Each structure stands twice: as C-alpha cells, then as structure tokens.
Structure 1
Amino acid sequence: MEKNIGQVDRVIRFILGIALLALLFFVDGGIRWVGLLGIVMLFTAAVGYCPLYKPLGINTNKEK
C-alpha cells in the first residue's frame, strides 16, 4: 500500500478527526453519529493512505 497522504493533509485529517469525535460527546440528536467519521479520519491520518484518493488520482505525498 503506497502512501498517498502528505504531511499537511495528515495534520488536517487528525484535527478534523478529533473535532468529529467530539460531536459524539457534545451534541445531542442524530447528528452526533456523524462524529463516527472521525475514526476514519484518524485512521487514514495514522496510516498515510486514503482509499478514495486512488480512483480519483490524488496524491498529496511529495516524498519519493
């Protein structure tokens, strides 16, 4: 699995992941379950690979 997420993209995903997970604790109603997407954001930031980037031809990783 080739890494296709660059450093800036990883930091942004990490911050958004934490913010989305916070929805689970601070928001009531059905919208709080959107916070589970934070798990996906944190996972892709940790491994450096986004499966949606592959078919779209996106690669923000500048390392060779």
Structure 2
Amino acid sequence: MIRNVGTLDRTVRLALGAAFVAVTGVVLLVTGAGRICPLYLPFGIDTFDDRD
C-alpha cells in the first residue's frame, strides 16, 4: 500500500484522535457519575429507575 500521510499530518491525527477519545471518556464519566445527560433533555429521554 502506498503511504500518503506525512509525519506532521500523522502526528496531528494521532494527537487529535487521542484527545477526542479522552474527552469522550471524560464526558461519559461525568454524566454517569452525575446521572444526568443534557442531550437526553430535548428528546424527552428518561432511563432513570427509582429502584436504582
């Protein structure tokens, strides 16, 4: 396979990819710990069970 991604492009892609994964993980941890998801509100989604 012919390579067409240079060193700088590769570095930027790897750094941004890692940052997106880290940010997504943090968001999931915060919403899970706080038990509130702002994205659910406009759609009327409620998965909370009083037995939790």
TM-score bracket for the superposition, by shorter chain length: 0.5 to 0.7
Gaps of 5+ in 1: 1-27
Alignment correspondent of 2:25: 38
Q: Which runs of 4+ in 1 moved over 4 A?
A: none
Alignment correspondent of 1:54: 41
Query: Displacement, 1:37?
Result: 1.2
CA RMSD of aligned residues (A): 1.8
Q: Which structure dedicates a bigger proportion of its chain to helix?
A: 1
Q: How many residues align?
A: 37
TM-score, normalised to structure 1, is 0.50
Query: Displacement, 1:32?
Result: 1.1
- Please identify the structure whose Cα radius of gyration is greater: 2
